Structure 1
Amino acid sequence: MKFTPLLIFVLLIAGCAHAPLHEKDYQRWWCEKHGGELEHRLPDNTRVDCLTKEYALEVEYAPKWAESIGQALYYGQSTGRKPAVLVIVRDKDDERFLKRLRAVAKEQGIKVWTVRPKDLE
């Protein structure tokens, strides 16, 4: 098989492209940054995405904002830590979900952080 310069160029570019980010990537990034424990297992076998000295954190994509509230509250109650959510904001449309989350979080005492793909670059 003979490689042409164009084919070699395409293969090089493809090899340099970033793989798409997954929820675990954001979870790991935040947890390492805040000195937390990844995937802390509770007695009922549920897992807190990141447990720090102060927070029990749920990591979730913005469209699943409502689910993140319930999980954060449960993890906080189960661990004696403050409930928190790290919201993954991928595009401008996600801002509407973030607005909803923040409104409820303020009332329920849930700490909210945001992260965007560019933050992990």
Structure 2
Amino acid sequence: MLKILFICTFIASFTLGNTTDTLSPDSPKSIHGIVTDSVTGKPIPEVIIMVKGTEIGTVTNAEGHYKIVTLTNSTLVFSKEGMKTQEIPVGEEPEINVQMKKETKDTKSLQKTK
């Protein structure tokens, strides 16, 4: 019995020892961060964060913090009424902090004419 336990432990350590820390483009990844106003630096609550092309999303809390699980090769879309929408590709870093700018009337009218 002891011999079987030793063999199982050896095989498990060998197999687990050969894993790699590199994420493939389709690996799930947890992303977190804070969304702030680019002028005041204050956190922005209730910003909608969506994984582009999906129905996966979340919203920032009262302190502007968010957390979402997505794929390594995806893009996050940050949007809020009155603020300019931003698209940010997910990279290797687990933290994405965003500074949002207020949407001007000129920017808003340009988006409607597209």
* Fold in common (TM above 0.5): no
* Structure with greater contact order relative to length (CA < 8 Å, sep ≥ 6): 2
Asked which structure has the greater CA Rg, the reply is 2
TM-score of the pair, normalised by structure 2: 0.31
Please identify which structure carries the higher strand content. 2
